[in-house]
Amino acid sequence: MLADRADGTLVRRGDTVAKAHAADSDRAALAARLRIAGAPALGGVLLPPLRTGSVHGRPASLWPYGTPVDPERPEAAPWEAAAGLLAALHRIPPGSLPGPLPPMRGPAKVARALDRLARAVPDPSRPAGAQAAPPPAPRRADAGADGRAHAGADAEAGAGADAGARAVRAAARTLPAWARGEAEPPPGGLLCHGDLHLGQLVRYPAPDGPWLLIDVDDLGLGAPAWDLARPAAWYAAGLLDTATWLRFLDAYRAAGGPAAGPPGCDPWPELDLAARALTVQTAALALARAVRAGRRLEEVERLMVDACGRIAGLPADLNSGSPS
């Protein structure tokens, strides 16, 4: 078992990996994404599926096994390879792919993250009937002084969650409705991965073949800046050092990527909106998970929530963002 989550179950057997996709997947859109993954135009960019089907009523697919990025060796993370693959993906003419092409699911994932936050930390600005029931508070078996100390810690954590949720929601309000998944995205766009992070790369053939992108559940037409948004957001939040960010950005530009402007120019007019959206998404999920687990935010999670506070505090004209 490689993973077992609501959005997908992954099981490896020998040199193949079976994936049961989310039960609530848009099956027509998923079928289109799987067809695209096997298109000859994307050879050397996306790992193609071996076959598709269903299992226990869920859409399923079978894939060749590739060697993943080693999380214990951050110094060897393939940032340049990731950038080059994204640039190649973004350069593919959409008309050369088997259609119809679904929209990239990035904004839908922002909407889902905000919904999870609303379930964990109710939004006082929403009508009571529109709120999802908050999760039950973790039960404490402690008594006496220890129990009182835990109760105080719970109250402090709860106050921190409320403040964090306010910051995340304020940052979300700086985004146009389409970037929150509340309206149709701008027409057009390029082929995007939709959920780029280093866990979406494997070497194939294993163990030392070239790097390829995997996981096409969010693939589709959209703003290519979205695929650069996670490393951009990490850099802006202080989680990615300047040298690594520039390695990634320079490699993307050198490979002809269209989403960050030409070499030497400021990339942020193009990347800012998507980076803010990914910051909101990441912080909302972090808060929801922490509240449900009855714990405080970890350092990395806190930095993303803090970044939402800075986004919310920017002047409106700096948060307007281009939809491209």
Listing DSSP states for 185-215 in one string gives PPS--EEE-SS--GGGEEESSTTTS-EEE--
- Which pLDDT does position 140 carry in this prediction? 44
Cβ–Cβ < 8 Å for 8, 20 = yes
pLDDT, one tens digit per residue, over 213-272 is: 999 999 999 999 999 999 999 999 999 999 999 999 999 999 999 999 999 999 999 999
- Which pLDDT does position 130 carry in this prediction? 54
Across the range 81-88, mean pLDDT stands at 98
Angle between the 79-91 and 242-254 helix axes, to the nearest 10 degrees? 30
Which of these, 235, 227, 286, lies nearest to 257 by C-alpha position?
Answer: 227
Q: Does domain 69-108+175-318 have CATH number 1.10.510.10?
A: yes
- The sign one gets for the Cα dihedral 143, 145, 151, 153 is negative
Look at the pTM and tell me if it is higher than 0.75. Answer: yes
Q: Choose between 145 and 45: higher pLDDT.
A: 45
Instruction: State the residue for tokens 């080059």.
Output: 84
pLDDT, one tens digit per residue, over 142-183 is: 555 554 444 444 544 555 899 999 999 999 999 999 999 999
Range with the poorest average pLDDT among 1-15, 121-135, 137-151, 242-256: 137-151
- Which pLDDT does position 158 carry in this prediction? 59
- Which pLDDT does position 144 carry in this prediction? 54
Both ends of the chain: CA-CA distance in Å? 39
**If residue 116 lies in a helix (H) or strand (E), which one and from where to where?**
helix 106-120
Confidence of residue 114 (pLDDT cuts 50, 70, 90): very high
Sheet with 16-21: strands ordered across: 3-5, 8-13, 16-21, 58-64, 51-55
- CA 17/CA 37 separation, integer angstroms: 15
- Which pLDDT does position 72 carry in this prediction? 93
Cα angle, residue 280 at apex, residues 19 and 184 outer, rounded to 5°? 75
Residue 305 CB burial class (10 angstroms; 0-12, 13-18, ≥19): buried
Across the range 313-323, mean pLDDT stands at 63
Q: Choose between 144 and 107: higher pLDDT.
A: 107
